A and B are shown apart, each in its own frame.
Chain A
Amino acid sequence: MNSTNDTKELISILEQSFDIKDFTTPKKNEISIVVDQNNVPTILTYLKDKGWKQLSLVTCIDWIEENKFELAYVLFNWTNGITFLVKTKIDRKNPEYISIIDIFPGARYYERDIHEFFGVKFEGNSDFEKPLFLELWDDKPPMRKDFDPLEYSKRKFPDRKYDVELSKNAVKEVIKEGEINERT
């Protein structure tokens, strides 16, 4: 079976039927497409039908300057070993998206993960709001770019105090003593 011909055909079909904004092959055996957010469930269903049966990862990227969250779905095909990346951008201010657990049930935990670290709400996933990793979290989601970990760490965990000025003076005194000894 020649997999490259198959994928070319598949891409042409996808381009005809959906509005694909970008198409790249970042690596050998890897295809990446950027699509409109309304088309994602249909494309995922189509790809699952074509052999991309494993959902390897769902993850989120924070593009703070564009004011967008990018959701990336990574699918894997076990017959020809081709990885498929489906990416889409959603609004950052009020991030809500459709859950894909009807298509890939394994996405349940990935969506909980994304909700916890980025604050994206997934409609259709019954327990996306349950905490998974962070216990008793009381700040904005930590993987957002505008979250300041140092400020949080300073507020939450007491820091060890170092007397910097005192140690600087001590070093200066030692140097002075050395100079005096050299002169005499």
Chain B
Amino acid sequence: MNIFEEDLNDTITFWEKIKNIFRGKSLWMLHYCTGCGAVELPPTMTARYDMERLGMGPMATPRQADVLLITGYLSVKTLRRVIYTYEQMMTPKYVVGFGSCTLNGGIYYDSYAVINRLDYYIPVDLYLAGCMPRPEAIMNTFKTLENMITKGEANGWKKYVENYDWYRNNQIRSLGEVYVKDEFHE
């Protein structure tokens, strides 16, 4: 831990640093498996790789989760639910995009149902290379994310608040007015 003397005088920075260290050490990720990258998560969680030793665990509800994993391609219909889920999460919240589909659409670049680029709609803190990523890559990414949070570099949630109009306009451009219509629960 690097605590410098000038930090002790600057209370906000100091306590923010302490908070960031705690935030980085206990990550609860939301299991909203949107695409094929999610199949690599079970081996990462189970005995061989055992992701819990890094202080990460699965969490079922958005309100208690810290990390949202977008594991692969996102259809337009799913993106609407993902935005709701993301907005339900408490700050600070972080987004990790898996594979090429979240970056530029991947093999779905000309699909009418799949979005091309995730970071137009929600801010992405970290991209994870590989299609699909190996468990080692996932562990590496989470270690990187942990370091980023500890240093205070994972600021996607702040960006989302500051540039909300821009994100909102992009969402409306691709999705139309955002609302969920579900005839089975009418």
Q: Could you tell me which A residues sit within 8 Å of B by CB distance?
A: 130, 133-136, 139, 142, 147, 149-150, 152-153, 156-160
Contact = CB atoms under 8 A, between A and B. Distances in A.
Nearest to A137: B112
A136 B180 CA distance: 11
B63 interface: no
A159 B76 contact: no
Contacts of B183: 130
Given A136-B175, A142-B113, A153-B105, 6 more contacts: A135-B76, A149-B110, A153-B116, A157-B115, A159-B109, A160-B103
Contact of A160 (B76, B104, B170, B176): B104
A152 B112 contact: yes
Interface in B132-186: 170, 173-177, 181, 183
Given A135-B76, A149-B112, A159 B175 contact: no
A158 B110 contact: no
Nearest to A136: B176
Q: Main SS of the interface on chain A?
A: loop
A158 B116 contact: yes
Interface residues of B, number: 23
A142 B114 CA distance: 13
B23 interface: no
Contact of A159 (B80, B113, B116, B170): B116
A153 B109 CA distance: 8
B25 interface: no
A130 B186 CA distance: 14
Interface in B75-130: 76-77, 80, 103-105, 109-113, 115-117, 120
Given A130-B183, A135-B77, A159 B117 contact: yes
Nearest to A162: B104
